[in-house]
Amino acid sequence: MKHLKNIRLIVLAILSSAFFINCSTAQNPIYNQSIEESMIKALEWQEAHPIMALAPTDWTNGAYYVGVARAHKATKAMMYMAALKNQGYWNNWQTFKRLHHADDVAISYSYLYIDMTDRRRNFVDLEPTKKFIDAHLYEPDAWKEGKDKSAMGKTILWWWCDALFMAPPVINLYAKHTKQPKYVDDMHKFYIETYNQLYDKEEHLFARDMRFVWTGSKKDMKEPNGKKIFWSRGNGWVLAGLALLLEDMPNDYKHRSFYENLYKEMAAKILSIQPEDGLWRTSLLSPESYDHGEVSGSGFYTFALAWGVNNGLLDKAKYTPALKKAWNALADCQHEDGRVGWVQNIGASPEPASFDSWQNFGTGAFLMAGSEILKLDNQ
């Protein structure tokens, strides 16, 4: 049977090369089979190279396993579910430990997904997730109450834009899964605070935190070209988080239009600044600062925009060519052995990457992108 399979692959390869030769000046075709193979290779490489900032339950793994969950949702390939269950089991379904810190509940997206998908009952333990969300939303805290006096301006619960990926989609999914819509309302209250502080209504992008918000002072941080500093991954967190939120938010939720509008506004901006080669630079408005594509931000954008096309929020004809270009460029960032390179390391502002630089959340962004690109041609 392996022989048959091999012959099929060889025939496919010959056909592909022929096609490639004839179409070399046109947009490269996207074969779903090759996308799925790239995704599986990325998963296998990442599972073989576990990495953490502070724990296997930290936000870096949280973001990675969101990608694995989305890949499973899109393809149903058992290998993703095996990886999801394995990490959840060994993590004993714990969140990370700082209950006031949005980062530390990102991992629960994967726990919720497993519980909603796997046939087995009594496998996932959602108690730690519930405990986190309740403490996070309802217990007093220095950030929430504006009592933290650090330079970063930690005067709200989600004082940095990454937080909008880490916690809101988890709270929203928890509300859906447990049929408790009140959680969405309580999430919304904090989301709006962050929007008010960090969203730049002129540029339609989020400042990473208060340090990057212009106040008109001479001391405002600027790029060498004089522009505001908008971090690619930071905005990727927000936009990908919005797609996750919209997917699981009730259609009749009273504030849904706020999220849809924000999503569409940011999507249009991101499309308008896509570099020629398909991948966004780490500093969105100063691409010349580090003039190479970066995979974590670009992966989140590709996911978010393709999700919008697939779900009827964005114009297919307008976005699809940009998305296929982005995916082809992302796929070129993958090493032969599956490693996803060109990922900016952990940080809080634009920094360079390299073909060799990798991180689990970069692999997660790659998987998220692939999971929606796969569906593009079916729209």
49 binds a copy of itself (CB under 8 A): yes
Quick check: 358 binds a copy of itself (CB under 8 A)? yes
Of 58, 162, 200, 377, catalytic: 162
Candidate residues 19, 20, 31, 355; the one interacting with a copy of itself per rule CB under 8 A? 355
Hey, is 268 helix, strand or coil? helix
Nearest to 375 by CA among 27, 5, 14, 32: 32
Q: Of the listed pieces 23-31, 52-60, 141-149, 362-370, which binds a copy of itself according to CB under 8 A?
A: 52-60
Cβ 330 vs Cβ 295: under 8 Å: yes
The yes-or-no answer on residue 103 being catalytic is no
Q: Give the list of residues 6+ apart from residue 366 with CB closer than 8 angstroms, or none.
A: 39, 42, 67, 295, 299, 330, 334, 340
- Based on the shown chain and the rule CB under 8 A, indicate whether residue 44 belongs to the binding site for a copy of itself: yes
Least distance (Å) from a copy of itself to the CB of residue 297? 16
Of 86 and 261, nearer to a copy of itself (C-beta) is: 86
Shortest spacing between CB 87 and a copy of itself, in angstroms: 10
Q: Is 75 a residue that touches a copy of itself (CB under 8 A)?
A: no
Work out whether 342 is an interface residue with a copy of itself (CB under 8 A): yes
Q: Which stretch binds a copy of itself (CB under 8 A): 2-10, 135-143, 225-233, 253-261?
A: 2-10
d(CA 7, CA 10): 5
The DSSP element (H or E) to which 90 belongs, if any, is helix 78-90
What beta strand segments (E) does the chain contain?
199-200, 205-206
47 vs 372 by CB, closer to a copy of itself: 47
The count of chain residues that interact with a copy of itself, using the rule CB under 8 A, is 36
Q: Residue 238 or 329: which CB sits closer to a copy of itself? A: 329
| Rg value, the chain, Cα | 20
Note whether 20 binds a copy of itself by CB under 8 A.
no
Does 15 engage in binding with a copy of itself (CB under 8 A)?
Answer: no
- By CB under 8 A, is residue 51 in contact with a copy of itself? yes
210 three-class SS: helix
25 binds a copy of itself per the rule CB under 8 A: no
Look at residues 71, 170, 176, 69 and name the one whose alpha carbon lies nearest to residue 113: 69
Helix, strand, coil distribution of the chain in percent, nearest 5: 55, 0, 40
C-alpha distance from residue 14 to each of 31, 36, 37, 41, 217 (Å) = 14, 19, 17, 22, 61
For a copy of itself, which is the closer residue by CB, 9 or 23?
9
Q: Which residue has the tokens 């010959």?
A: 14
Query: Which residues does residue 340 pair with via DSSP β-bridges, in sequence order?
Result: 334
Among 148, 186, 332, 351, binds a copy of itself (CB under 8 A): 332
Catalog residues that contact a copy of itself under the rule CB under 8 A: 1-3, 5, 44, 47-56, 78-79, 82, 85-86, 89, 120, 123, 292-293, 332-336, 341-342, 345, 355, 357-358
